Structure 1
Amino acid sequence: MIFINVQFHVKPEYKDTFLDEVNWYTEACNAEPGCLDFKWFRDPQDEQRFLLLETYADGEGVAHVQSEHFKRSCEEFPQYLLETPDIINFRIEGKTSWDKMAEFSV
């Protein structure tokens, strides 16, 4: 599995519309083969900060960054941002799905 976490700091004028502005990208990524999760979260203490959590099946990362919607996002996203996003990504070889958390077993 490939995990990608990106922190976005948006301009004040986009704090309430950012997710709507980029919804085309969210929908396109969620429709990609191999996309397991693509979800946005807003920081409850700073309305201008968003966290994007992406999870892809192993081997699908190249297709994502070569897609037309990713290329479009590279052109369009900077207009909404105050600064370059922070990113971290990592791969777990051979992992294909989430595990269950035994400590909170239901």
Structure 2
Amino acid sequence: MARFRVRAEYLEELLLLLAELAERSRQEPGCLEYGYYQSVDDPLAFSSFESWRTPADEVAHWQATHVRQALVRVAPMLHAAPEIVRAARIA
């Protein structure tokens, strides 16, 4: 899971980038869930949620060319680095 805020002048560009990233990531082997969510109270605040079948599938995702390119593109659009929380399902 991750939380991040976009700079207002990049909102439309970010929305396109996230849609493309989600579409490509959902096609990766082992992807169980991959989505971005825009706050209903603050349109500049976003959360993401992704779930992978195995830790190796997640590692492969972070190494994928489209992910690495997206991270470079998105960095200047954000106020700060995303807050990332990794968790394991227990129930």
Which TM-score bucket, shorter chain as reference?
0.7 to 0.9
How many residues of Structure 1 are paired with residues of Structure 2 in the alignment?
A: 90
Unpaired segments of 5 or more residues in structure 1?
A: 100-106
Query: Given the alignment of the two structures, is residue 42 of structure 1 paired with residue 38 of structure 2, yes or no?
Result: yes
Q: Is the contact between residue 58 and residue 91 of structure 1 (CA under 8 Å) also seen in structure 2?
A: no
Q: Is the contact between residue 11 and residue 81 of structure 1 (CA under 8 Å) also seen in structure 2?
A: yes
User: What percent of counterpart residues are identical?
Assistant: 24
Task: Please tell me whether Structure 1 or Structure 2 has the larger radius of gyration of its CA atoms.
Answer: 1
Q: Secondary structure at the match of 1:14?
A: helix
Give 1 or 2: higher helix fraction.
2
CA distance in 2, matches of 1:17, 1:73: 12
The structure 2 residue matched to 1:55, chosen from 51, 65, 79, is: 51
The structure 1 residue matched to 2:75, chosen from 73, 78, 91, is: 78
- For normalisation by structure 2, the TM-score amounts to 0.86
Residues 43-93 of structure 1 show CA distances to partners (whole Å, capped at 9, x for unaligned) of 11111001011011123111111111121122111121111110101235x
The structure 1 residue matched to 2:88, chosen from 86, 91, 98, is: 91
Give 1 or 2: higher strand fraction.
1
Q: CA RMSD in A?
A: 1.8
